[in-house]
Every structure is written in structure tokens, then in C-alpha cells.
Amino acid sequence: MFKTHFGETLTVVLAIVMGIIMSLASIIVEHLDFNFSNVFKIWSMITMVILLVSIAIPYSEWSEKLMALFHLRKGSISYTLADNILPSLILNTCNTAIVSAANIFYNEAIPAEIQMEKWTQGFVHQWPVMFVISYFAAFAAVAAGKRVARRYCG
């Protein structure tokens, strides 16, 4: 993922933009109080997860190989739409698992004996909704990342 400063810049901007979009969506979907504390808490977790997963998992390379397997022409609409599925799948799964866990396992109002059940229910409820949101949000985030990277990295 981080073979050049361009890739690093793109990923950092992507993480920040995705964090903003996903945190706002999560607050709306879960009917949480819309305040700075909730937005910042969720945004910071999502941004950190995206950055760490982007360092650890070469999902872009995997997606390129998958697109080649299906003989999709780079630059075509079908390639662009399909190329976003695997990264969204990986990032959304990690985000949903970790952010849900942080909100449930560190919540003193939820008794320890039912936290795993609540986490599982929350994951199953949130994952499909957040996948759709993250899939479409990724197009805007990648475009913003490329724009910033082109401007500052050449």
C-alpha cells in the first residue's frame, strides 16, 4: 500500500474522509446523540482502523489481482465498480468489528455476561448497512485522496 509518498498521502486522506462519512452515518443509523464527543470518538476509531488495516493488509493489490482474474479492463466502469468491493469488504468488516467492540466492551452499562451477545447482534445489524455506506463513500474518499496526493506529491 505504501510504496510511495503518493500512496501514503492517498491512504491518510482516504482514512480521514472515510472516518468522517462513516462516523456521521453510524450516528444517524444508530440514533446516537449528534455531538462533538460522539463524532470525534467514532471518527478517530474508524480513521485509526483504516490506517492500521491499510498498513497490514494489501487489499488494493488483492483487488487488482481479482479484477485481472475476471478480465476487467482497468479504467472501465465495471472495473471501477468491482475494484471497490474487496477493499470496502475488508475495511468495513474490520471497522464494524473493532468500533462495535470498543463501544460495547468498554461500556459499564452493559453487563459483562451479555457483552459478547450484544457485540454479535450489533455487528450483524451494523455490517450490511455500513458496508453499503462505505462502498459508496470510498469513491469520494479515494477521489479526495488522489486529488491531495497529486497536488502535494506530484
pLDDT mean over 40-64: 95
Task: Name the residue ranges covered by the structural domains of the chain.
Answer: 5-153
Q: What is the DSSP string of 17-60?
A: HHHHHHHHHHHHHTT---SHHHHHHHHHHHHHHHHHHHHH--HH
Confidence band, pLDDT 50/70/90 cuts, at residue 119? very high
pLDDT over threshold 70, residue 1: no
- The amino acid occupying position 91 is L
pTM, two decimal places = 0.88
